[in-house]
Amino acid sequence: MELLEQAILEKGKVLAGDVLKVGSIINNQIDVKLLAALAEDICAHFKGRGITKVLTVEASGIAVAVLVAERLGVNAVFAKKSKTSNVDGEVYCAGCYSYTHQKKNTLIVPKEYIENTDKILIADDFLANGEAVTALSEIIRQAGAEAVGAAIAIEKGFQGGGDRLRAAGLDVYSCAIIDSMSEGKIVFRKL
């Protein structure tokens, strides 16, 4: 998606440790007009697939998930990284290592928010090693629901997670795929 690629080139910043800082458009500050355009792009790809719910992880995935869910006319659900006092009852959970935060999280979704008849679109702002999407897919599997695919704003193609998930049969649609950002130069995959 050209609009997103331009925004990444103009406003993104490559930090140490393969971290792409896009805080002014997607994470910390949310460029809502850009994300709305991205949600339209995602909905065009997954049109007619009978999606009943959008599933993401707190925190920065929520903006993408809500804007996509709004256009699809369905609810969004976000997995939490810890069980808080406003969660009661049984939960699904799956482990997930965050390379950005360098720690192991357990993603938690109360069982009551996923039905076994749900057709679920996973959504997130970033996909790198694919840990979060894999954990969310595992939660969908536990619930006996169907994972229709994964919608991602920015995929770090060079970290391989997206291609591994595609090879395993998941329809992973990313609005921009970065194939290299060595020496601070961002190179996009031709889509």
Asked if residues 87 and 108 have their Cβ atoms less than 8 Å apart, the reply is yes
Closest separation in Å from C-beta 166 to a second copy: 25
DSSP letter for 189, please. Answer: P
> Of the two residues 25 and 148, which places its CB atom closer to a second copy in the complex?
25
**From residue 65, how far is each of 78, 85, 120, 158, 189 by CA, in Å?**
8, 24, 11, 24, 24
Among 70, 146, 163, 171, binds a second copy (CB under 8 A): 70
Q: Interaction with a second copy in 27-66: which residues (CB under 8 A)?
A: 27-33, 35-36, 58-60, 62-63, 65-66
CB–CB of 178/154 below 8 Å?
A: yes
Q: Give 70 or 163: the residue with its C-beta nearer to a second copy.
A: 70
Q: What is the DSSP string of 66-120?
A: HHHHHHHT-EEEEEBSS--TT--S-EEEEEEEETTTTEEEEEEEEGGG--TT-EE
Nearest distance in Å: CB 177, a second copy: 19
6 binds a second copy (CB under 8 A): no
Q: How far is the CB of 134 from a second copy (least distance, A)?
A: 21
Which range binds a second copy by CB under 8 A, 25-33, 136-144, 148-156, 162-170?
25-33
Mask of contacts with a second copy, 86-115, x by CB under 8 A?
xxx-----------xxx------xx-xx--
Q: For the chain, what is the radius of gyration of the CA atoms?
A: 16
Q: With beta carbons less than 8 A apart as the criterion, state whether 64 and 40 touch.
A: no
- The two tokens of residue 181 are 């950002």
Which residues of the shown chain bind a second copy in the complex (CB under 8 A)?
13, 15, 17, 19-21, 23-24, 27-33, 35-36, 58-60, 62-63, 65-67, 69-70, 73-78, 80, 84-88, 100-102, 109-110, 112-113
